[in-house]
Amino acid sequence: MLIRAIQAKVREIKPSAAFGISPFGIWANRSSTPLGSDTRGSESYSKQYADTRLWVKEGLLDYIMPQIYWSIGYEIADYEKLLTWWAGVASGTGVKLYIGQAAYRTVGAAQGSEWHGGEEIRRQAAMNRGNPAVSGYCMYTYNSFMKEAALRAVIEEINSAGEESAGLAFPDIGAVPQRESIEYVAGLGIIKGYDDGRFHPHDNIRRGDYVLMLTRMFGLSIESGLANFDDVAPGAYYYDEIATARRDGLVFGIDNINFAPDANITNQDLYVMTYRALDRMGKVDGEADEGLLAGFADEGKVAGYARQAAAHFTGIGVFNKGVLDPETIADRANAAEFMAGVIRASE
């Protein structure tokens, strides 16, 4: 009665809206009823008083998205068996079947686990696509993609086909939250794609690469033949950029002799390098109020040397998401979002 009433109200208010529900993945076990699935888990029919099969058979939904949060071959609730069961329920009803998948299980999955590296998600997605009754899938939860780079990479890979036709600058950024910022800075020539035509958003940023990006962002005139840090190899693609930035006092080495150009850079080091460059060019107006950092949940993780930089960028509106992630290794997507924010704040 509840589902029928909601459907009627949705149709009344907005007939074009698609009304659907994402229920528990098991309607009933075959041991309880011959119509049930070959499973031995908790049942939505008896435990939650939800006759999910009936909703589909009577057309009370436009779509159903069962939460099949188990792995392929799992003895109690096999993903493949449940996928096949739900496909049989939805077939011929006009109700679209989308599958809810357990992206959250990949976060921190141990080496050797079927969920490690997102490979189980890859296999399940392929299985979905091989079943004509399945119209698509959805991942739970969204923040799993923020926490697990390997999962993001898998999703980008399996969904990359056809993205060029959708107008993306790069075929591997369609599912990346920083997509708009990536396209923005790429359009300015600050961060460029790879030779394979992709952006590789989750590749780590190295110190030498970031200096190269900074010189492009600030439009510096690059000179050749300048003295450089001892560990920057002549002929390296960023040699002249680092040498120019060093001469102008925009960057400092790790010990005044070496720069460690191939070392990864943390987010807070990225903030500091950008702040020092702005300050050297006269674009920093006095000291920032470090009290601004109190509004961030991870303020205590900001190193002393980085607090003024973080406060500056907070003050001009670059940071407003509640976290600073100072100790996280910066990747290309995060660098693009940060640099886009700096440029826009300066406009």
pLDDT, tens digit, 9 for 90 and up, residues 273-288: 999 989 988 889 899 9
Residue 291 confidence (pLDDT) above 50: yes
- Give the mean model confidence (pLDDT) for residues 24-37: 96
Task: Name which residue leads in pLDDT, 254 or 46.
Answer: 46
* pLDDT, tens only, 218-262: 888 899 999 999 999 999 999 999 999 999 888 888 887 999 999
Task: Name which residue leads in pLDDT, 35 or 248.
Answer: 35
Residue 164 confidence (pLDDT) above 50: no
Q: What is the reported pLDDT for 163?
A: 45
- Which domains occur in the chain, in start order? 2-159 (3.20.20.80), 179-346 (no CATH)
Task: Name which residue leads in pLDDT, 225 or 158.
Answer: 225
Q: What is the reported pLDDT for 102?
A: 97
* pLDDT, tens only, 296-331: 989 999 999 999 999 999 999 998 767 898 999 999
- Give the mean model confidence (pLDDT) for residues 39-53: 96
Residue 162 confidence (pLDDT) above 80: no
% of the chain at pLDDT higher than 90: 63
Residue 217 confidence (pLDDT) above 80: yes
HEC string of the chain?
CHHHHHHHHHHHHCCCCCCEECCECCCCECCCCCCCECCCCCCHHHHCCCCHHHHHHCCCCCEECCECCCCCCCCCCCHHHHHHHHHHHHCCCCCEEEEEEEHHHHCCCCCCCCCHHHHHHHHHHHHHHCCCCEEEEEEECCCHHHHCHHHHHHHHHHCCCCCHHHCCCCCCCCCCCCHHHHHHHHHCCCCCCCCCCCCCCCCECEHHHHHHHHHHHCCCCCCCCCCCCCCCCCCCCCHHHHHHHHHCCCCCCCCCCCCCCCCECEHHHHHHHHHHHHHHCCCCCCCCCHHHHHHCCCHHHCCHHHHHHHHHHHHCCCCCCCCCCCCCECEHHHHHHHHHHHHHHHC
CA 199 to the chain's CA centroid: 14
Q: What is the reported pLDDT for 166?
A: 47
Q: What is the reported pLDDT for 173?
A: 83
Q: Which of 145-149, 170-174, 323-327, 331-335 has the lowest average pLDDT?
A: 170-174
Alpha-carbon distance of 126 to 281, in angstroms, equals 52
Q: What is the reported pLDDT for 196?
A: 77
* pLDDT, tens only, 74-122: 999 999 999 999 999 999 899 999 999 999 999 999 988 999 999 999 9
Q: What is the reported pLDDT for 168?
A: 55
Q: What is the reported pLDDT for 347?
A: 65
- Tell me which amino acid residue 341 is: G
